[in-house]
Structure 1
Amino acid sequence: MQSLALKHACQLSDALAVLYAQPDPATLFDRLAAALLDLFGAETICFDHFDAQGTMRFLGAWPQHLFSTEMLHDASPIMTQHPLFEELFVRQNALPLRTSDFAALPRFVRTDLYQLLYRPYALTHHLVLAARVPGWGTVSCAIFRSRQDFTEGERTLLAFVRPHLEGLLRCSGLAGASGAPAGFAPADPPVPDYFGLTRREADILFHLAQGRTDKEIGRLCSISPRTVQNHLQNIYAKLGVDNRTAASRRTMAFF
């Protein structure tokens, strides 16, 4: 029988209290994302819906400028390259799984899927749960980190989240009569244009908020450190700040 460490049990209790406090289905995925990102100390989270025919529908990613519709459309034909795809969506394993349990990192990062979808944000460590919702299909919850793999304790923690995730989805009324997620159109997640940023500037600001250096940002964005610095000057001007620390603080609520 799985058991939670006291620290994880307390964290889970706090996260669930927030989730159950507001029943509005229109904000369910936003609240799930906020709770799980905080619970796992992760950088990014993504939700997808799979119907009975295996058709994938993007529900959203947080931060919201990640994984554009174009990127996901291009990645869809090669999604089977993900180390967890067969185990979760063919064999229908109900347990949370880590990418590192099924593929060595050097092998995974060489795949076309990683290069297209995950490399721009250095999202190398994945913890994924596929929750089955009767009458709806499968909702995948993928949690990403760039620097540190997920532990066995964190995998157990997500297993305890699973029944609550399934229950919240069932009770939310999001599943329409056709089995499709009612009220969730596969719209392109917006570029963070609240400051007039371009998509490139939003990407650079995301990496800046993660504490990365100009050299690291340049490597991840396939541009030179000097070009990163030029983008940062434009970002600072749009944010009304004059240094990277102030820029990170200015956008803390969004990243």
Structure 2
Amino acid sequence: MALSPTYLRPAELQCLQQAILLVYATEAGPVFTRLAQATAAALSAEIVSIDGFDQTSSMVNLGYYPAQRFSLPDFETLRQLLPEHPLFQSLIIERRPEALRTSDFRPTQKFRNSTLYQEFYQPTGLPLRELIVGLPVVEYGWITCTLNRAGREFSEADRYLLTLLVPHFQQAVRQAQTVASPPALPPNSPLLLNHLTPREAELLGYLRQGLSDKEISRCLSISPRTVQNHLQNIYVKLEVDNRTAALCKVLGVAG
């Protein structure tokens, strides 16, 4: 539902401005971590998760706030039960672009009766007030930004704020400039040991932080064309055609 910018109060506009500054603050850390942190600050969300989806709807987590909030087994449980989510059809299958509230699609009490709630939300203490937006991101395909908080439900102003942040998310991924060491991928993965070279595995780590070909070339001190050649080799070896699909497969979450 489209809302006029005048619907936002001055305090909400100030939160939006601060969030946008954080989105582009490359010194503040990896791009997807910044997006999660900025969103949490702008919309007073307790938890924010950024996740990528390949063509088979397999999920890989790209970043979340606060750090260390979830474990790898938590995400594995979520991946297995995600088709039970009330917004799975709309956001992951149909890929609707608007920000959606979970409670608008399934009453909270009914959601509490689901296996997804009992085996993921309840054990992790994840609040049921939830707002999610899906968006296309260059070379990553489809990602979602999920916000959770206790207490009051997300408002129409919150939905509008999140919608205003979306183009900045996309631009920040394109313009990511600063990277520390790439996040570790599973060192004993058969895909890494038997198919990918050490340089290709290193490049995949940078992919997970949202870098474009140009930024990766700077980090690895190679030309953008060489990065593209590495990517094409990775895609052929993994039998995929984009970055999210490659990450899903090498992390063992595809299919």
Settle same-fold status: TM greater than 0.5. Answer: yes
Q: Does the 8 Å contact 2:28/2:34 carry over to 1? A: no
TM-score (normalised: structure 1): 0.65
Question: Identity of aligned pairs, percent?
Answer: 28
Map 1:140-155 to 2 at 5 A.
140-155=144-159
Deviations 1:135-185 (A, max 9, x none): 321111101012221011101110111111112123335256343269999
Aligned counterpart for 2:138 among listed residues 131, 134, 138: 134
Aligned residue for 2:67, secondary structure, equals coil
**Are the structure 2 counterparts of residues 146 and 57 from structure 1 closer, same or farther at C-alpha, using a change threshold of 3 Å?**
same
Aligned counterpart for 1:161 among listed residues 159, 165, 169: 165
Aligned-pair CA distance for 1:24: 5.5
Distance 1:58 1:17 in 2: 23
Q: Does the 8 Å contact 1:48/1:59 carry over to 2? A: yes
Aligned counterpart for 1:58 among listed residues 48, 56, 61: 61
Q: Does the 8 Å contact 1:136/1:175 carry over to 2? A: no
Aligned counterpart for 2:107 among listed residues 98, 104, 109: 104
Q: Does the 8 Å contact 2:127/2:149 carry over to 1? A: yes
Aligned counterpart for 2:95 among listed residues 79, 88, 92: 92
Distance 2:30 2:9 in 1: 29
Deviations 1:21-75 (A, max 9, x none): x236952122222221111111111111112332211123322222321122123
Aligned counterpart for 2:46 among listed residues 28, 31, 43: 43
Q: Equivalent residue for 1:228? A: none
Q: Equivalent residue for 1:219? A: none
Distance 1:84 1:31 in 2: 24
Distance 1:118 1:44 in 2: 12
Map 1:142-221 to 2 at 5 A.
142-172=146-176, 174=211, 177=231, 178=235, 179-180=242-243
Aligned-pair CA distance for 1:6: 3.5
Root-mean-square deviation (Å): 2.6
Distance 1:40 1:25 in 2: 19
Higher relative contact order (CA 8 A, sep 6+): 2
Aligned residue for 2:111, secondary structure, equals helix
Work out whether 1:118 is the aligned partner of 2:121.
yes
Distance 2:53 2:79 in 1: 12
**Are the structure 2 counterparts of residues 140 and 81 from structure 1 closer, same or farther at C-alpha, using a change threshold of 3 Å?**
same
Number of residue equivalences? 186
Q: Equivalent residue for 2:78? A: 75
Q: For structure 1, which runs of at least 5 residues remain unmatched after alignment?
A: 188-255
